[in-house]
Structure 1
Amino acid sequence: MDKSPMDMASFPTDYKVSEKMVRIIYGRPQLKNRSLAELAPTGEVRRTGANEATEVTFYKDVNFGGKDIKAGSYSLFTIPGEEEWTVILNKNLNQWGSYFYDESADVARVTVPNGSDSSSLEEFSIAFKEVEDGAHMIMGWDKTRVAVPITF
């Protein structure tokens, strides 16, 4: 079995593909007695998952964390911070990790607060939470939680 199995999350979460607004495919690394600071160093661009760069597809134009984004597929990167994270949409697809990340291909960079939860997640996870006018894309690992608002 893959050490960082691939997973997918979408919104809405029902099975009607024709009504999907967003889908994300990503690898799920595990802490395995390592610290989040070791796996996702502060101030460094990271792939936001494991293996290939995370890929997010918007099925219609959206507002992603305050930035207008055209429908399409993008790679997702993050820059972890102590107080806030920078979440990056990049037009270069099919990248392995962040080794070949090219800032000039960025479509948007948004900054969101670094939140926390009392429970720890062993596996990196992405989920969508429905809110008025859209959803929050929530990324969580260990006790860190980062939410990006998406309006449709």
Structure 2
Amino acid sequence: MKNLFTITLMVIALAFSSEAMAQKFSGLDKSPADIASYPTDYKVSEKLVRVTYSRPQLKGRSISELAPAGKVWRTGANEAPEIIFYKDATVGGKAVAAGTYSLFTIPGNKEWTIILNKNLNQWGAYSYQEDADVVRVPASVSNASESLDAFSIAYKDVDNGTHMVLGWGNTRVSVPITF
């Protein structure tokens, strides 16, 4: 009887202690983080460029509501994206040294401006400082038949390099990168 009482007491103690030790995790972010790297083949471990960014969603809104034309935009949601060049590169015709930069854009109807900024860990575009820009380059805008609700970054192979393509709604923004 004494053993039964001890076992019962231990089971009750275990039940309550596991509940007390349970870790609480927050829910999923509404703008989940993503990474776009080039070369895109997952079998290639030595990447040339990688962008870490959050993916805002349109959810019935327009791009101009979330990324107004003519204003600096963080190019995603939450923190400004960070782009890492593992080798020296040419972005939109301008030389960029290997390193890590914040990625901003200025949306426009026919052209977007791509901005690489040396200040890291920036929330949104609130702390953006133009004097920390490393390069500003124009990027062409086109329309696609497929609409993307979530902002996305991908790479398109071209002769002598790649184009980093920003896609959202039917808008596609393309900037050439060579290494």
**TM-score greater than 0.5 by the shorter chain:** yes
**Partner of 1:50 in structure 2?**
77
2:95 & 2:170 partners in 1: Cα distance? 30
What is the CA RMSD across the aligned residues, in angstroms?
A: 0.8
Larger RCO of the pair (alpha carbons < 8 Å, separation 6+): 1
Quick check: which one's strand share is greater?
Answer: 1
**Partner of 1:41 in structure 2?**
68
Shift in Å at residue 41 of structure 1?
0.5
Query: What TM-score results when the alignment is normalised by the length of structure 2?
Result: 0.83
Which runs of at least 4 in structure 1 moved beyond 6 Å after TM superposition? none
**Partner of 1:143 in structure 2?**
170
Shift in Å at residue 119 of structure 1?
1.3
Instruction: Report sequence identity in percent.
Output: 64
Asked if 1:80 corresponds to 2:85, the answer is no
Work out which of the residue numbers 139, 144, 148 in structure 2 matches 1:121: 148
1:42 & 1:92 partners in 2: Cα distance? 23
Matched residues, number: 151
**Partner of 2:160 in structure 1?**
133
The structure with the larger Rg is 2
1:147 & 1:60 partners in 2: Cα distance? 20
Deviations, residues 105-150 of structure 1 (Å, cap 9, x unaligned): 0000001122110111000000011111111000000000000000
Quick check: which one's helix share is greater?
Answer: 2
Give SS of 2:51's match: strand
Query: What TM-score results when the alignment is normalised by the length of structure 1?
Result: 0.97
Deviations, residues 15-69 of structure 1 (Å, cap 9, x unaligned): 333x210000000000011111111100000000000101000000000011000
Give ranges in structure 2 of 5+ residues lacking alignment.
Answer: 1-27
Shift in Å at residue 14 of structure 1?
2.7
